[in-house]
């Protein structure tokens, strides 16, 4: 193997090295291998033809953090001196990986008996939510979490606090629904599902979604950030990554050698606005359960370790092992003829409750690592220039977190070579796996 990945084939023996104060007893990558891994990832970020604005990564090997590093800038100024680097505490809007984090919170409510996966969600919402083409079949949390609900994004999936979901669905018509497939029968990835899920969570608890997720997930793990940047401290806001593309806003032309253009979370130019006159349980899309969590790679690592440790964190049981097993049990699988779902060029081949199930081998659309057997579950994200991954292997207690804060070239012109991901994501995940998880002896 040559090029970027070849930098990592050093034949270095893994050892548990001394770590900086406060970092615990993680089995760190040996120093020489870490330098090579830093260099390889830096080269991906700084590729002049396909630059990335920023990158924050973390790897877990056998349940312990083996590597974490940051590259690039969380805020790009007029000159390098005006730019602010990514730090371990930098918060990224992690796009659809948020869905999986929302699901962890929901599973706590299921565990507590406040929600049932197979109840008609209209019972929770207080209004009937049925596909008008299949009115006899109820939508359930199970169908929402597995993208088999028959809800579709064509009619939108986010609205302001002045709208209620009841009114949205009343006025939405066929754009909100699959007209040919009944609930539970066909997979199509739908962001709208999580707007409904978040609203159901509000209705059964009486708590606003962003505050509810703090109580259910973020606070117990001492995680910073959240789903409502208007509520962030000054320190959190100052360390929130602006998301970029090198694409003009008006003509949407990609210019890899042009300037970075802010797409979202430009907190220095447009501080987040507060949410006023919101009615709890009316429309949780305001907080984007589907994509709006701001969190650091390090804190995502905490959540990953909690899951790998059977739901325990610092001696406390956050989620029961049975709930984790249920969450990651396969709910839908692509049929051999592909007739039971839209796989998006093979990217989606199997799904659990709020998580994707990845094949071990590359070349099938959803393989994560080139030339390696890495069977995993987790989630990917892509929005506003942000590209993210949260993937874990329960059997071997390995995992990876990837947060890219901006893409500089058209992803359609830089496709993956062994998956339906972009080539930058392939390079990062394969490089990270080989340098921080795969064992060379």
- Supply the pLDDT for residue 360: 66
Contact 400, 58 (CB under 8 A): yes
Dump strand ranges (E) for 241-345: 243-245, 261-264, 294-295, 312-313, 316-317, 332-333
- Supply the pLDDT for residue 363: 59
Go through the domains of the chain in sequence order and give each one's CATH number: 52-437 (3.40.710.10)
* Mean pLDDT, the chain cut into blocks of 10 residues (441 residues total): 37 30 53 94 97 98 97 93 96 98 98 98 97 97 98 97 96 95 97 98 98 98 97 96 94 94 95 92 98 98 98 97 98 94 93 92 78 92 98 97 98 93 97 87 28
301 Cβ contact list (under 8 Å, min separation 6): 58, 60, 65, 68, 401
For 337-377, give the secondary structure using H, E and C: CCCCECCCCCCCCEECCCCEEECCCCCCECCCCCCCCCCEE
What pTM was computed for the model?
0.93
In eight-state DSSP terms, residue 283 is -
Label residues 83-101 b or e (16+ Cβ within 10 Å = b): ebebeebbbbbbbbbbbbb
Phi, psi angles (nearest 5°) of residue 415? -75, 165
Locus of tokens 């918060």 = 91
């Amino acid at each position: 193997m040559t090029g970027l990945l070849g930098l990592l084939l050093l034949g270095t023996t893994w050892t548990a090295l001394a770590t900086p104060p406060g970092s615990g007893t993680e089995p760190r990558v040996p120093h020489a291998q870490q330098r090579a891994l830093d260099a390889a990832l830096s080269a991906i970020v700084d590729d002049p033809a396909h630059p990335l604005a920023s990158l924050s990564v973390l790897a877990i090997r056998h349940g312990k953090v083996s590597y974490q590093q940051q590259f690039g800038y969380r805020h790009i100024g007029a000159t390098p001196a005006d730019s602010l680097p990514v730090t371990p505490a930098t918060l990224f809007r992690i796009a659809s990986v948020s869905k999986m984090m929302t699901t962890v919170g929901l599973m706590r409510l299921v565990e507590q008996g406040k929600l049932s996966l197979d109840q008609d969600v209209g019972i929770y919402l207080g209004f009937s939510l049925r596909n008008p083409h299949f009115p006899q079949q109820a939508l359930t949390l199970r169908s929402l979490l597995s993208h088999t609900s028959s809800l579709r994004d064509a009619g939108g999936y986010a609205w302001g606090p002045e709208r209620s979901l009841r009114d949205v669905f009343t006025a939405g018509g066929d754009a909100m629904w699959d007209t040919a497939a009944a609930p539970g029968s066909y997979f199509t990835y739908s962001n709208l599902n999580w707007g409904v899920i978040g609203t159901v969570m509000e209705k059964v608890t009486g708590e606003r979604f962003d505050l509810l997720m703090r109580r259910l997930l973020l606070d117990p793990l001492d995680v910073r950030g959240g789903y409502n940047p208007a509520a962030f401290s000054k320190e959190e806001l100052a360390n929130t990554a602006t998301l970029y593309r090198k694409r003009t806003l008006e003509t949407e032309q990609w210019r890899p050698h042009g300037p970075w253009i802010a797409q979202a979370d430009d907190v220095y130019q447009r501080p987040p606005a507060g949410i006023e006159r919101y009615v709890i349980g009316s429309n949780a899309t305001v907080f984007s359960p589907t994509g709006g969590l701001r969190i650091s790679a390090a804190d995502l690592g905490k959540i990953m370790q909690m899951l790998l440790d059977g739901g325990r964190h610092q001696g406390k049981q956050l989620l029961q092992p049975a709930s984790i097993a249920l969450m990651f049990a396969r709910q839908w699988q692509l049929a051999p003829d592909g007739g039971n779902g839209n796989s998006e060029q093979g990217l989606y081949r199997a799904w659990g409750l709020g998580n994707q199930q990845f094949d071990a081998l590359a070349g099938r659309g959803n393989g994560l690592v080139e030339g390696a057997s890495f069977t995993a579950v987790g989630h990917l994200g892509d929005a506003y220039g942000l590209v993210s991954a949260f993937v874990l292997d329960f059997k071997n207690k390995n995992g990876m977190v990837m947060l890219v804060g901006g893409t500089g070239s058209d992803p359609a012109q830089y496709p993956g070579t062994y998956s339906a991901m972009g080539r930058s994501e392939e390079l990062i995940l394969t490089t990270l796996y080989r340098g921080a998880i795969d064992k060379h002896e």
